[in-house]
Amino acid sequence: MTDRPITSKRLPGMDHDLYPYSSITTRPPLSWPGKNQLAVWVVLHLEQWELQSPASAVRDARFKGEFGNFFPDYRTYSTREYGNRVGIFRVLEVLDRYQIPVTVAANAALCTAHPQLIDECLNRGYEIAAHGSHATRMITSKMSQAQEEDYIHQAMDTVRHSSGAGKVGWIGQDFGESPRTPHLLAQAGADYLGDWPNDDQPYWLSPKPTIPGTLSIPGLVSLPYHVEWDDGTMMALRQLTAPRYGQMVREAADRLHQDAASEAARMMSLGLHPWVIGQPQRIRYLDEVLAHLRKMDGLWFATGREIAASFRDQIPMPSPAAEI
């Protein structure tokens, strides 16, 4: 090992300008409507999978063992499709029982291929958020800016057309982003971004531009999406049993509720995939989780749009000149 001269020193702070560092103990007070302490954001994923995606498409590396060992992989494809054919109706039945607001993360391809599923959700008053084009195509830095802009605009336009909403939130497919994604989403009129699991409260993405020559981010709110108890992460990837999944979600809710009561308001996301939680051996645990949440005082079940709006009403957007 040889010594090399240090030519530069890292400055304290974040290593990007997408948002400033903020400890949860030093923020302005935050509360939810009705003096509630914990906002619960249920995110139901409706996704269209491809048996064979384009050669240029990038899939989530966490699922790299699938759709790659042989072709055609009908088994894996059919497991996903089970969610759109069967599992979704089990999930809707449970959600109907509790009559709670839901945000649907919908792929553009799903909106086109299965408009009847979007109608099922709209008839229940659910919010529809944009979720990319297909479950097998992520945003990555391999895209050019023009390709990424087209991807974002096509997905958001399709969801707007399907839902009738003028403004929609964005929940990236498998949380895929490039460094310019928040800027492009803001310029496309996204209501909020649900890709970052780094907090228990919403926060403003930095208004400083990250692309030379572009404008500042015009008020894009980040809603934390908690990957830790997403059903796909826990049961499909980490191979936890369904009873353990239910236990962990309940424990997370209990602690967040405790933190919110003693400190400041919190939010909790609950990500659901019909091909995972909609399986016959697992659906009862979604029922148990929602029954547990319903018994807790001070909970506000809300859509992503409602949570983002409440946050904007209380916490002003930082100045573009604010220090990062």
On whether residue 7 sits in a domain, the answer given is no
**Which phi and psi (to 5°) does residue 62 adopt?**
-65, -25
For residue 99, being part of any structural domain is answered with: yes
Q: Is the pLDDT of residue 99 over 50?
A: yes
Is the pLDDT reported for residue 5 higher than 70?
A: no
Give pLDDT tens digits for 261-270.
988 999 999 9
Residue whose token pair is 């839902």: 163
Q: What is the three-class DSSP state of 268?
A: strand
Q: Check residue 44 and report its DSSP letter.
A: E
Does 287 map to a domain?
A: yes
Q: What range does the domain containing 36 cover?
A: 31-314
Mean pLDDT (whole number) for 112-130? 97
Band (pLDDT 50/70/90 cuts) for residue 324 is very low
The pair of three-digit structure tokens given for residue 101, joined into one six-digit string: 């607001």
Average pLDDT, integer, range 83-95: 98
251 pLDDT exceeds 50? Answer: yes
Instruction: Quote the tokens at residue 141.
Output: 């830095």
pLDDT of residue 112: 95
Which pLDDT does position 216 carry in this prediction?
57
Q: Let me know: does 20 contact 321? Beta carbons within 8 Å.
A: no
| Better-scored residue on pLDDT, 181 or 279 | 279
- In a domain, residue 17? The reply is no
- State residue 14's pLDDT score: 62
Please write the tens of the pLDDT for every residue from 181-195.
888 998 899 999 999
Res. 69: pLDDT tops 50: yes
pLDDT tens digit string along 194-243?
Answer: 999 999 999 998 755 555 555 555 678 999 999 999 999 999 989 999 99
Q: Report the domain count for the chain.
A: 1
- The answer to the question of residue 1 being in a domain is no
CA gap 46, 156 in Å, rounded: 15
Let me know if residue 15 belongs to a domain.
Answer: no
Domain contains 22:
no
Residue 27: its H or E element: none
Range in 1-5, 99-103, 147-151, 171-175 with the lowest mean pLDDT? 1-5
Report the chain's mean pLDDT, rounded to a whole number: 87
Query: What pLDDT is recorded for position 130?
Result: 97
pTM of the complete model? 0.88
Residues near 223 by beta carbon (within 8 Å), at least 6 away in sequence: 41, 169, 192, 193, 194, 202, 267, 269, 304, 307, 308
The pLDDT score that the predictor gives to residue 309 is: 97
Position 235 in a domain = yes
The sheet with strand 221-222 has its strands ordered as 192-193, 221-222, 203-204
Looking up residue 131, the CATH number of its domain turns out to be: 3.20.20.370
pLDDT tens profile 15-55: 677 887 889 999 999 999 999 999 999 999 999 987 666 55
pLDDT-derived band at 67 (thresholds 50, 70, 90) equals: very low
Reported as a pLDDT band with limits 50, 70 and 90, residue 6 is very low
> 57 pLDDT exceeds 90?
no
CA-to-CA distance for 74 and 81, rounded, in angstroms?
Answer: 10
